[in-house]
Every structure is written in structure tokens, then in C-alpha cells.
Amino acid sequence: MRAFKSAFLAIALASAPLGVHAAAPTTVAAAVAMPGRSADNLKLDESRKPAEVLQFLGLKPGMKVLDPFGMNKYWAEITSPVVGPKGHVTVWEPTQFAKGDGRKSFDDFTAAHKNVDMRVSPFEAPDFGSGYDFALINLDYHDVYWTSEKYGITRMEPAAWLKSFYAAMKPGATVGVIDHVASPSADTRATVEKYHRIDPDVIKADFKKAGFVLVGSSEILRNPADDHSLLVFDPKIRGKTDRVLLKFRKPR
């Protein structure tokens, strides 16, 4: 009887939804392989290499995580079970995008994942909260240089945006930045508008000016076959762009 109960428990755990697994910390690799992740997000794993990225950045159980622009749940599905019940994941989403089916889907997700919530505020006036140990800005930092009448994105000053972001992080916190690589240009805003890419040196300079220290970089997301001449949404390159991965720290 005891053996039957043990076998039944093992089967139940293996088939349990993601929210149940989130009750205890797990490794990054196990979280990536965990059942319950959305099909759309699983398709992104090949290009995003989430296990390698989070291991490089040093995500650990118990961390308080800030996930900017994360309403699609891609990183939250993985970071939630890793940080476990003593940690927490806060997704920040700009007011301009926190609506529709995406918002409903995320609200359903947080109902099943008690260590995840979402903060919403205007893109140009972010309210991130505070006290985070870890953050990952994935393929979105370039948008602080972007404007869009269609989406209500007004001109922002990257320094002001990063000042709010810097204040949200605890001393000693780790920040990862992944973005589509652009060739060097004298006009970052024009490059972002045309390609939705950014020169890695611009990222480094912006974060240094904000007070962060660059402590590492990785080549795991680079693609030398991408010559940076196409818009990132072009079918010829979408999902296969050359990407920079930078690791910053807020000084103690």
C-alpha cells in the first residue's frame, strides 16, 4: 500500500500544473523543463536559451525578481519556480500594453502562482517598486529610445528611465540586459526606429551613467550570420537575431 501511494504521488507531481511546482524552489534547468509552460513560450527556448542565460546571470532561490515587459510570462514561468516561496517575481508592464487578452492571461497566471504579481504604470513614468535582487530586461531596453503615436509611446529620456530602474534595485543586485545588436550609429533613436536594434556600446554607456557596473558578458546569444541590416521583425531574421547579453551589478 505504501509503495502504491509513493507511485501515485510521483505520477501526480510529474503531471501537476506549473503553479503546484512553484511551491518549492527548483533548479533553472528543471524549471525550463517543467510541465505547464505555455506552448508559445516553449517555441522561443531554442533562440533564447533560458537555462544558460539564467545560470550565467546567477538567479537563485529566495531572490526578489523584477521582470520588465514580462506580461507574456516567458521568464516568469521559469523564474517563479526557481525563486520559490521565499522569493518573488514582479512583472512590470507599461500601461500602454497591459490590456486585452494578454492581461487576462497574465491575471490567470498570477492566480495560480502566488509568488508572482504585476505592476502597471506608464512607459514614460515607470513605477517599478523597490528592493529587487535580480532583473532581466529581455529585448526591450532599446524601446526607451522609441516613440510611437500608434501605441501612445512618447519620447523618453533614457537617463530618467534608468534612474527609476536603478532606484528599484537593491545594492548588490544583478541586472541582465539582452537586446538585438545594431551596428554603431551616430543616431540611436533613428536606428531603433528603423530596426528595433541598439548598439551594445550604447547600453553599456547608459547603464554606466546610471551607476551600474558591468561585471560580465556572454556570447551565447550571438549570431554572426545576422549582419544587422534587417528589422528584427523581418521573417528572414525574426527569432534569429544577433543578441548581446550583458551582466551589470548595482554597487553596494
Residue 185 CA to residue 144 CA, distance in Å, equals 16
Mean pLDDT across the stretch 56-67? 98
pLDDT in tens, 136-159: 999 999 999 999 999 999 999 999
- Place 23 in a pLDDT band, splitting at 50, 70 and 90: low
pLDDT at 20: 40
Estimate the share of the chain in helix, then strand, then coil, as percent rounded to the nearest 5: 40, 20, 40
pLDDT at 21: 43
Please say if the pLDDT value at position 231 is more than 90.
yes
b/e burial code for range 119-134 (CB count within 10 A of at least 16 → b): bbbebbebebeeebbb
Please say if the pLDDT value at position 5 is more than 80.
no
- Place 15 in a pLDDT band, splitting at 50, 70 and 90: very low
pLDDT in tens, 187-208: 999 999 999 999 999 999 999 9
pLDDT at 29: 96
pLDDT in tens, 70-103: 999 999 999 999 999 999 999 999 999 999 999 9
Q: In what order do the strands lie in the sheet with 243-249?
A: 116-121, 88-94, 64-68, 132-138, 169-180, 243-249, 213-218
Please say if the pLDDT value at position 120 is more than 60.
yes
Please say if the pLDDT value at position 2 is more than 70.
no
CB atoms within 10 A of CB 13: 11
| Grid cell for residue 16 | 501537476
Residue 159 and residue 210 in contact, taking contact as beta carbons nearer than 8 Å: yes
- Place 25 in a pLDDT band, splitting at 50, 70 and 90: confident
Q: What percent of the chain has pLDDT over 70?
A: 90
Place of cell 521583425: 233
What domains, with CATH codes, occur in the chain? 2-249 (3.40.50.150)
